[in-house]
A = this chain, B = another copy of it.
Amino acid sequence: MKITVVGLGVIGGSFVKALKGKGYEVYGVDINQESLYEAKKEGCIIEGYTDPHDIIPETDLTIISLYPSLVLDFIRNNTFKPGSIVSDAVGIKSYFLKQALEIIPEDVEYISVHPMAGREKKGYAYASAEVFQDANFIVVQHSLNKPQSIAFMEGFAHDLGFHSVKIMSPSDHDEIIGFTSQLPHAIAVALMNSDTQKYDTGKYIGDSFRDLTRIANINEDLWSELFLNNKAFLLGSINRFEEQLDLIKNAIKDNDEDALKALFIESSKRRTHL
């Protein structure tokens, strides 16, 4: 089976690294010659192409690991092998899938996926097979998908090293991601920006502040697109979070030790269960 990963950035690069030695025929497409050279040298791809037209027409599974708008451009500008599967790893699905399904040819099956693993760094140098190991994977199913193709994607994710593979609708995906991924990014940005900068903050932090702000270093083009196209779910998550934060705030204001302890006991129980 011929697999071509388009875009050997931190996610696409992790795909080709995780596929090494798994029995697939893997190729890479990137505008960066150096990433292709590195991936080939490491034995992660058989060949690298800067022109996708040299490989996409013979590919059985195309994984387009580019920014959302570039994925759509790529679909428009390429001819895929009839009967092949085309996939992407875009962070939210409803708005994106709607556009992708409008332009995907009828003889190709489109299956959107979400590997819940990544890094705040960009580029092939930061890609690694390890980030996929024991991580979560979501296969987004729509009405045109064949059961056997979804089953293939499920097995493929396990081959990549993912521990949990969930199959769900685009809307369900966007609802849970609005909470588990987008809300944490909004929080990290707000935390970082709320610093009064009265002190030399870096000298007064421990791991907790470091961990909570790691993702405050955020790609503004990508994440503004993701946030604005998942408006309802993300705003719902932010509102529920603010309600909980207000419970803490009010308990402090009221010197209500019991209320504060109850909130801490609940969060500890939930985090342990996680």
Are A206 and B181 neighbours in the complex by a CB distance under 8 Å? yes
Who on chain B is nearest to A249 by CB? B238
Beyond A183-B191, A221-B261, whether A206 also contacts B116 by CB under 8 A is: yes
Q: Which of B138, B187, B204 contacts A245 (CB 8 A)?
A: B187
Question: Given that A180-B201, A252-B228 are known contacts, is A220 also in contact with B274, CB under 8 Å in the complex?
Answer: no
| CB < 8 Å neighbour of A190 from B209, B244, B261 | B244
Is A205 positioned at the interface, with any CB of B under 8 Å from its CB?
yes
Q: Let me know if A268 is at the binding interface, CB within 8 A.
A: yes
Q: Contact partner of A185 among B172, B180, B208, B238, CB < 8 A? A: B208
CB distance from A271 to the nearest CB of B (A): 4
CA distance A238 to B243 in the complex (A): 13
Measured between beta carbons, the chain B residues less than 8 angstroms from A213 are: 267, 271, 274
* Interface size bracket, A side: 35 or more
Main secondary structure on chain A at its contact with chain B?
helix
B228–A255 CB distance below 8 A: yes
- In the complex, are the beta carbons of B267 and A193 less than 8 A apart? yes
A215 to chain B: closest CB distance in Å?
A: 5
The verdict on A267 contacting B189 (CB below 8 Å), with A204-B136, A228-B255, A252-B235 known, is: yes
- Residue in B206, B228, B257 whose beta carbon sits within 8 Å of that of A135 in the complex: B206
Check B199–A172 contact: CB distance below 8 A: yes
Instruction: State whether A177 touches B204 (Cβ < 8 A).
Output: yes
**Is the Cβ of A205 less than 8 Å from the Cβ of B224?**
no
Interface membership of A265, Cβ < 8 A: yes
Question: Do residues B203 and A166 form an inter-chain contact, with CB atoms below 8 A?
Answer: yes
A193, B266: Cβ atoms under 8 Å?
Answer: yes
Q: With a CB–CB cut-off of 8 A, which chain B residues contact A237?
A: 194
Residues of A within 8 A of B (CB): 116-118, 135-136, 138, 164, 166, 172, 175-177, 179-181, 183-196, 198-199, 201-209, 211-221, 223-224, 227-228, 231, 234-235, 237-238, 240-245, 247-249, 252-253, 255, 257, 260-261, 263-268, 270-274
Q: Ordered nearest first, which 8 A-B pairs have the shortest CB separation? A: A190-B244, A220-B264, A116-B206, A190-B245, A192-B267, A189-B267, A216-B267, A211-B211
